Structure 1
Amino acid sequence: MKVLRGLVARVPAADPAETVARLSERFRFETDCADVASDLSHGVGGFVVVDARSPEKFAAGHVPGAVNLPTRTITAESTKDLDPQTLHITYCSGPHCNGSTRAALRLAELGFRVKEMIGGFHHWRLDGHPVDQ
């Protein structure tokens, strides 16, 4: 009997130890809406949520307590009141947008500790988390 090898298995899976290393590393750079919402609802501090969208989109709705810092405005001057030792969680509109990646990169270039909130505001709303306006 001939075993067909499809597209999924065309490239063999990594060794489990390599998989653990790679996937564990992602958590150093990313968080998700559920974890951010849980920490916010339980009063867990130690991080600032940064909305990298435009002021208009921010005004229409945003993660509670988020600060609006549009990606294109991130400079040493615009971040002078932020603590580089505090973790900053960036988000943008959603998976179709790279604004949170650009914001995280820019903040990291300025010396800030950052993670991206995967899914962005789109998934925040889809998951039914509270929204401030």
Structure 2
Amino acid sequence: MSSASPVLSTPPAPSADAVAHFAARLAFETDVADVRAALASGDPGFVLVDSRDTAAWDQGHIPGALHLPTAEIPTRARDLLDPAVPVVTYCWGPACNGATRAALALARLGYPVKEMLGGIEYWIREGNPTTTRGSRLDPLTAPACGC
């Protein structure tokens, strides 16, 4: 008895289409491991922006990140960011689209921007350091991030 694979019920795209799709994703997204490696180099070539609110920032953020809540991007980005330097945004994690909204706001202002997949949640899960201004962030319980 043969059954069709649910994975292959929709066949894979032709290779040329797959190349275009995956190349486009990499133009818009990066991941925790690549951000960590770039920051460790001392010259990452981008500014890392935490788009969460102050309460979430105070619980824990990536060392070296710039705090710029999404709601403040239209009024503060030009004072804080060089439009010639790429920006990488992050928010809470995969269940939150705050980094996507922040990236969109920055792109609308003309900034070259990528989103860090996984956010602070996966930064912590992968054992990377955080800076806090209060109680330590628990990676398994997301605070209201205000994004």
- Please indicate the TM-score interval, normalised by the length of the shorter structure: over 0.9
Q: Name 1:67's counterpart in structure 2.
A: 66
Give every structure 1 segment of 4 or more consecutive aligned residues whose post-TM-superposition deviation is greater than 4 Å: none
Shift, 1:71, TM fit: 1.0
Structure 2: segments with no counterpart, 5+ residues: 133-147
Q: Name 2:77's counterpart in structure 1.
A: 79
Of residues 43-52 and 103-112 in structure 1, the stretch that sits farther from structure 2 once superposed is 43-52
Greater fraction of residues in helix: 2
Q: How does 1:1-133 map to 2 (within 5 A)?
A: 3-75=2-74, 77-81=75-79, 82-133=81-132
Shift, 1:74, TM fit: 1.4
Shift, 1:3, TM fit: 3.3
Shift, 1:6, TM fit: 2.8
User: Matched residue of 1:74: which SS?
Assistant: helix
User: Matched residue of 1:115: which SS?
Assistant: strand
CA deviation profile, 1:70-120 (whole Å, cap 9, x unmatched): 111211x31122111111000000001010000000000011110000000
CA deviation profile, 1:7-36 (whole Å, cap 9, x unmatched): 211111111222122111111000000000
Distance in 1 separating the partners of 2:43 and 2:11: 41
Distance in 1 separating the partners of 2:124 and 2:21: 29
TM-score (structure 1 length as normaliser): 0.93
Distance in 1 separating the partners of 2:19 and 2:98: 28
Of residues 41-50 and 85-94 in structure 1, the stretch that sits farther from structure 2 once superposed is 41-50
Structure 1: segments with no counterpart, 5+ residues: none
Q: Identity rate of aligned residues, in percent?
A: 47
What is the RMSD computed on CA atoms of the aligned residues?
Answer: 1.1
What number of residue pairs does the alignment pair up? 131
